[in-house]
Amino acid sequence: MPNPFEPVPFESLPEHPRLPHPFFTLPESVIDVWTEALGDVPTSVRVVGSGPPLLLIHGLMTTGYSWRYAIEPLSARFTLYIPDLVGAGRTMSPEKPCTPEAVSEWLRALQDRLGITGCDVVGNSMGGYLAMIHALRHPRAIGRLLVVHSPAMPEPRLWALWAAIRLPGAQSLLGALVRRDPERWAWKNVHYWDETLKSREETREYGMVLATPEGMRGFYRQLRDMMDVTVMRRFWRSLESRRDAHCDFPIPLSLLYVRQDPMVPPRVGRRLAYLLPASSMTWLSEGSHFAHVDATEAFVREVERAFPR
């Protein structure tokens, strides 16, 4: 393996990933999910496996494809529900603000449509942050939650990004930068401990939504609305208030973070563990923000530990 996070040139990416996976063989359903905030959202969902339901929520810049290497080992124990988030992949992006509160309502409606309200959930990155907000708003919607290297703390660089994305002309400028070469943008902004796991298959999957005007508007709304740092600050303060009041998180919570990550600093995990003393914390020494991709065995072990039968 090359050095951790050592990039493979875009021009040298193989057509297909060096490790096989079953993601594109899974049957895809598109179901209508209606909420008052977002209206009717045709939502892409893949379902596979047997056993209790487990909802997998991906993060920013990715799709349900992100879980590709965990599908086989997890589907032996769980029935996996793998959606594309609002504005990502094959799920429509409504022309409405996609705030964390709105996405929480969409998640609740999605769970109702699938018949999995109260199921266990794994959320990566932005998906884990949204799942924590969802659990605080609707404690009965989630049984147990595993958060994988999610942002949650309103750090200075997130404030800077949020301020920049709200400047006049920011949406047009972002669109011009990304749509110049969406696949290269995806390659540049997703980082793995082992970068040889990347392929053109992956860059096509993550870049396809960015290649259309509608998809770019959805991506912009994810940055502007889902990652609204004023909402994150309120979320963080709510966790501080709960700790001060000796009030645990409303559902069993497990945290999985890695010690090196160019996307979310590990200090976020340390601070979360401090604010949520009843949660369990696991650290990985080798792996990235996407541990389910490049530390799959360790990730699967943590899922099994977090959700014992």
The domains of the chain are located at 10-306
The whole-number pLDDT of residue 309 equals 83
C-alpha dist (Å) from residue 284 to 224, 258, 260, 307: 31, 5, 9, 18
- Cα distance between residue 116 and residue 81, in whole Å: 9
Comparison of pLDDT for 93 and 253, the residue scoring more: 253
Q: pLDDT at residue 261 above 90?
A: no
AA letter at 102: A
Long-range pairs for 19-27: beta carbons < 8 A, 24 or more residues apart? 19/69, 19/197, 21/68, 21/69, 21/71, 21/72, 22/48, 22/68, 22/71, 22/72, 23/64, 23/65, 23/67, 23/68, 23/71, 26/71, 26/82
AA letter at 258: V
Q: pLDDT at residue 179 above 90?
A: no
Q: Cβ atoms within 10 A of the Cβ of 148, count?
A: 28
The whole-number pLDDT of residue 1 equals 65
Q: pLDDT at residue 35 above 80?
A: yes
Q: pLDDT at residue 239 above 90?
A: yes
CB 61 within 8 A of CB 124: no
Mean pLDDT score of the chain: 95
CATH architecture group of domain 10-306: 3-Layer(aba) Sandwich (3.40)
Q: pLDDT at residue 92 above 70?
A: yes
- 302: β partners: none
- Give the global pTM: 0.97
Q: pLDDT at residue 48 above 70?
A: yes
Q: pLDDT at residue 202 above 70?
A: yes
The mean per-residue pLDDT over the stretch 25-41 comes to 96
The whole-number pLDDT of residue 236 equals 97
- Cα distance between residue 24 and residue 9, in whole Å: 25
- Cα distance between residue 163 and residue 127, in whole Å: 22
The whole-number pLDDT of residue 177 equals 86
The mean per-residue pLDDT over the stretch 213-217 comes to 89
C-alpha dist (Å) from residue 270 to 130, 246, 264: 19, 18, 12
- Summarised one tens digit per residue, pLDDT across range 268-303 is 999 999 999 999 999 999 999 999 999 999 999 999
C-alpha dist (Å) from residue 37 to 56, 104, 105, 233: 23, 10, 8, 22
Q: pLDDT at residue 104 above 70?
A: yes
- Cβ-based burial of 172 (10 A; exposed 0-12, middle 13-18, buried ≥19): exposed
